[in-house]
Structure 1
Amino acid sequence: MAKTSRYQPPSLSIRILIPVIALVAVVVCLLLLWDSVSGNALPGCGPDNASGCSSVLASRWASVLGVPVSGLALIPYIFIFTASLHISGDQPIQWQQIAWKVLIVASFIAVTAAAWFTVLMFLVGIGLCPYCLTIHACGVVLLVLVVTNGPINFRSNDIKAPQIGLTTAAQLATLAILAVGLLTTCQLLKPPQMESQVIAGLGDVVTDGYTNPSPNIDSQLPPDGKKKQPSPDINSRNQNHTAPSPSTPNQPAKLPPNIRKLVVRDSQGNARTIQFNPLGLPIHGSPYAPKLMLCLFDYTCKHCRIMHNYLKLAQSRYGDQFAIISLPAPLESTCNAQIKETHKSHKNACELAKLALRIWRINQDAFRQFDHWMFESDEPRTLEEAYVHASQLVGYQPLENARKDPWPARQISNNIELQKILPSQSLPALIFGQYFTKGSPANAKTLFDWIEQDPDMQPIHP
């Protein structure tokens, strides 16, 4: 039944509140869009995946047909902000009528989208993004304000008052829901793909003979004319593929001729050249494999756990066509200055990474067993569990002696320095050929498709 009382235009406080809330949503949308486009993490969306923000922005649901959803979310809130400026009683009736219809459609779009992405965050488990939840909360509040203050379902002969019948309002709401439904259908029907960015190149042997695996910083200008910046050294000094004992004097080691070069363009467009030797780094597969993949990860990261299992399948699928270099970059402030506050789920991440690297220095086969074991459980292994298992693999005394070795801490620092110059600091992160990706794939096939962007990669076991 229609309301019989005379419609009263919204009060000044409501007319101020609606555009202010819409403006807040616009600002947050712009921040998320900047994060998606630039790769520069927002506060709370840094490399620590425990916040959920980075995993949401790295998921397949963060875009529609290649357009970031944060960019699409701007549209209804901009319309709400603009329309809210034309709902006062001194505006022409036609303008008020149009403004309220726009507000109904846009606010229902905002709430329907909020419902969809809230389901994804809570039920599908892509993570909780505080920025996204802020936008969704704005949408809900705006819908309540529009429905309770708009000229909906009033029965009046006053030609000076805007009127929107209940049927018209329902039609507008249905139109909004269908619009969001179309976008969600596009997301559901599009096959999941890993986000991929061209960063330059990785993989070729660039020198012969023996060499000290220190960084090769090229002082010449890159093709774009910008000066190259100092780059991190993936290899730490004093690495030896035969894993010398921790008591070996800290002297640069001589490694066989297998030097590779990684060239990365950072967010400022500067070329960063890093020279490294796979023989001096923890690796799954042959260090002489024709293709190499760098994997930055953390043993306490749930998305890294997912990625690790898919990478095992990839190694079975492609055999010795490629090898994976394991570069732990712990999400704990103890050893990673990028982490301002350590989430409880990443407790002891630094010690777990050091323990794994100590094992590699003692016995490379034992490291590979330990690495797989660390990711087999549903929850991260505790430090106590990890140390007991490590002692069983390499012996208690060698492990204790390895505590004196400064290399693991130095190598972790180098890994983090590499992480800093990548397009995104989220984990896990992969570099393969000229491509970079972040986050865990939706399934194994998604990872395979990403790897097979390289035409040389053909499955030996489909």
Structure 2
Amino acid sequence: MSKSKSNRGKSHDDKILVGNWIQITRALLISASIITAYLALLTLKQGGDVPGCGPESDCNKVLNSQWAYLLGIPVSIPGLVLYLVFFLKTFGLKDHLLSPKIKNHIRSLNTLTLCAFGVIGAGIWFIAIQTLVIKAFCPYCCTAHVLAMTAAGIFLARSGVIAKRLNVKINIIGGILTMITLITIIGATQYLFPKQKPAAKIIELGNSETNTVNNETQPKITSNPNQINITANKLNNKEAPFPIPKTELSLITSKLPIIGDRNAKNRIAILFDYTCHHCRTLHSYIREVLPKYENKLACIMIPMPLDSKCNPLIKTTQKDHINACNYAKICLAVHQISPGKYEEFDTWLFSNHNFPKQLSKVREYAEKIVGEKILNETINSQSLLDQLSTNIEVYNLNSKNGKTTIMPQTIIKNRVMFGPPPSTQALEKILIQTLDLK
């Protein structure tokens, strides 16, 4: 009697294809899908400018790299399709095995197995790329990958039982080959057909004072005169202030480094952080453009560190921006001590635009050209700290008006360009369209 019941129980179990584990798998997949859909929508809408991914943050680097796109399409889109197919196909496996539905079950099992290996392959590829190539991690992306890979692992762990009950075998070798093939296709496509660099985001901020040199000296006006560089209002500068679009703030240009002719008819200004690789890229473009328009174009350099040590707008300093405050202070100090020597310092500092120089080397070079004692005194002076606060305020206002915190920020008349253009030629075209460079 007991044996009969045991056989009936065993027969009943053999007819059960899935259990509670399938609900866990579905929950993991739908969670990964929601995160991936969020990334896809924001990437399409804002070009990789995702909330929580500040300028030069790890996730910003990942989402704006060539590896975040496949044939110009954000990888989150094909990833989302894969996750959703995986999720929907789980409903093809019913709780109980019914003879008329066996072929449908087998087809669903085959599709799910391929999806599982595909998810694992894609996850391995993109996590490896972040680790070995980009050397930065996107928490959104990694969370989605881990969730989906966990779902795939759970399914594959149970797939053997399902296959046995369906009287079929799981082709593990075929699945592994499919995974390797998928990785190879994705990698080769991304390497051979990288996404073209996006155009810079240019925001028209409405009417503002012209950014060309005026004959009459204008006083510096700040949006918070009790806090930011009040004493500058009392200065009688030979150089005209540089107005910031859509604000009441103007910069005293004698307090800031300028590359190019200070008396040039046209001036642009760039907010930069030396530790920001996009900023160094833009600097290289500017250096190539300036000689073509000698005496017609100058660039005001506005050090703006993405470092919480001196910038209250930055909540957490990303690893690339550690010591950004020190670099910014040295740039300002060299100019304040000896404006005529800043050109030499800037040329040396940006001699390799791909990689920043060590802070110790930068300080050593600055001491060599202006003197150690006076450099130390100037770096800690109230005048320099006031100017740094003003620079940060410009960043704050530009970011609010342009609704993005992307760096670098280039002010061209009443426009602000966020991020670097794709090339020197693109930058020159933008300047020709906006300024009088004839």
Report the TM-score when normalising by structure 1: 0.69
Question: Within 2, Cα distance between the matches of 1:423 and 1:209?
Answer: 33
Displacement of 1:430 in angstroms is: 4.3
**TM alignment of 1:434-445, pairs within 5 A:** 434=415, 436-438=417-419
Distance 1:398 1:317, change over 3 A: same
Indicate the larger mover: 146-155 or 194-203: 146-155
* Alignment partners' CA distance in 2, 1:149 and 1:88: 14
Per the alignment, residue 155 of structure 2 pairs with 146
**Could you tell me how far 1:335 is from its partner in structure 2?**
1.0
Check if 1:189 corresponds to 2:193.
Answer: yes
The answer for the alignment partner of 1:281 in structure 2 is 256
Whether the 8 Å CA contact 2:244–2:394 is kept in 1: the answer is: no
Q: Do structure 1's residue 327 and structure 2's residue 302 form an aligned pair?
A: yes
- The SS at the match of 2:310 is coil
In 2, Cα distance between equivalents of 1:327 and 1:116: 40
1:199 aligned counterpart, secondary structure: strand
Q: Distance in 1 between matches of 2:162 and 2:343?
A: 69
Q: Deviations over 1:338-397 (max 9, x none)?
A: 333445654433233123212211222322333343444755423x54444323222345
CA 1:212/1:331 → structure 2, altered by over 3 Å: closer, same or farther?
A: same
| Gap change, CA 1:148 and 1:290, over 3 Å in 2 | farther
Aligned to 1:448: 424
Q: Residues of 2 paired with 1:286 and 1:314: CA distance?
A: 13
CA distance in 1, matches of 2:334, 2:297: 23
C-alpha distance in 2 between matches for 1:448 and 1:211: 33
Q: 1:419 aligns with which of 395, 413, 428?
A: 395
- CA distance in structure 1 between the aligned counterparts of 2:265 and 2:137, rounded to whole angstroms: 39
In 2, the alpha carbon distance for the partners of 1:430 and 1:148 equals: 54
Partner of 2:65: 59
Q: Tell me if the contact between 1:56 and 1:128 (Cα under 8 Å) persists in the aligned partners.
A: yes
Long gaps (5+) in structure 2:
1-12, 434-438
Q: CA 1:452–1:273 in 2, change beyond 3 Å: closer, same or farther?
A: farther
Q: CA–CA distance in 1 between the matches of 2:121 and 2:266?
A: 46
Instruction: For residues 149-181 of structure 1, give each alpha carbon's deviation from its aligned partner in whole angstroms, at most 9, with x where no partner exists.
Output: 33799477xxxx496874997599479939x93
Distance 2:234 2:349 in 1: 31
Equivalent in the alignment of 2:84: 78
Compared CA separation, residues 414 and 68, structure 1 to 2 (3 A): farther
1:69 to 72, 75, 95: 75
The residue number in structure 2 matching 1:381 is 358
Q: Does the aligned pair in 2 maintain the 1:109–1:176 contact within 8 Å?
A: no
Aligned residue type for 2:219: N
Matched, 1:339 2:314: yes
Partner in structure 1 of residue 323 of structure 2: 348
Distance 1:424 1:318 in 2: 30
2:197 match: secondary structure: coil
1:24 lines up with 2:38 in the alignment: no
Q: Distance in 2 between matches of 1:208 and 1:449?
A: 31
Cα distance per residue 1:401-444 (max 9 Å; x no partner): 535642322232233333341444344444557463437x8xxx
1:124 is aligned to 2:143: no
Say whether residues 1:209 and 2:216 are aligned partners: yes
Letter in 1 for 2:358: R
The letter of the residue matching 1:410 is D
Greater C-alpha radius of gyration: 2
Deviation at 1:55, TM superposition (A): 1.6
Tell me the residue number matched to 1:221: none
Counterpart-to-counterpart distance in 2, 1:129 and 1:170: 28
Write out per-residue CA displacement over residues 32-61 of structure 1, whole angstroms, 9 at most, x where no aligned residue: 346544576544x323x3x52222223233
Contact 1:105 1:175 in 2 (8 A): no
AA of the residue aligned to 1:192: Q
C-alpha deviation, 1:15, in angstroms: 0.9
For the structure 1 residues 345 and 87, does the alpha-carbon distance in structure 2 shift closer, same or farther, using more than 3 Å as the test?
A: same
Q: 1:337 to 1:189 in 2, by over 3 A?
A: same
Cα 1:398–1:150 change in 2 (3 A) is: same
Shift of 1:282: 1.9
Structure 1 residue aligned with 2:119, among 110, 134, 139? 110
Which residue identity does 1:286 align to in structure 2? D
Count of aligned residue pairs for this structure pair: 406
Partner of 1:408: 384
Unaligned runs of 5+ in 1: 216-229, 240-250, 264-270, 458-462
- 8 Å Cα contact 1:22/1:78 also seen in 2: yes
Q: Is the 8 A contact 1:232 1:417 kept in 2?
A: no
Structure 2 distance, partners of 1:260, 1:65, is 42
Tell me which of 46, 71, 95 is aligned to 2:54.
46
* Contact 1:28–1:131, Cα closer than 8 Å, also in 2: yes
* Aligned-residue offset at 1:330: 1.7
Find the residue that maps to 2:302 and give its secondary structure.
strand
Partner SS, residue 234 of structure 2: coil
Q: Residues 228-265 of structure 1: CA distance to partner in whole angstroms, max 9, x if unpaired?
A: xx7999x95555xxxxxxxxxxx5323457455544xx
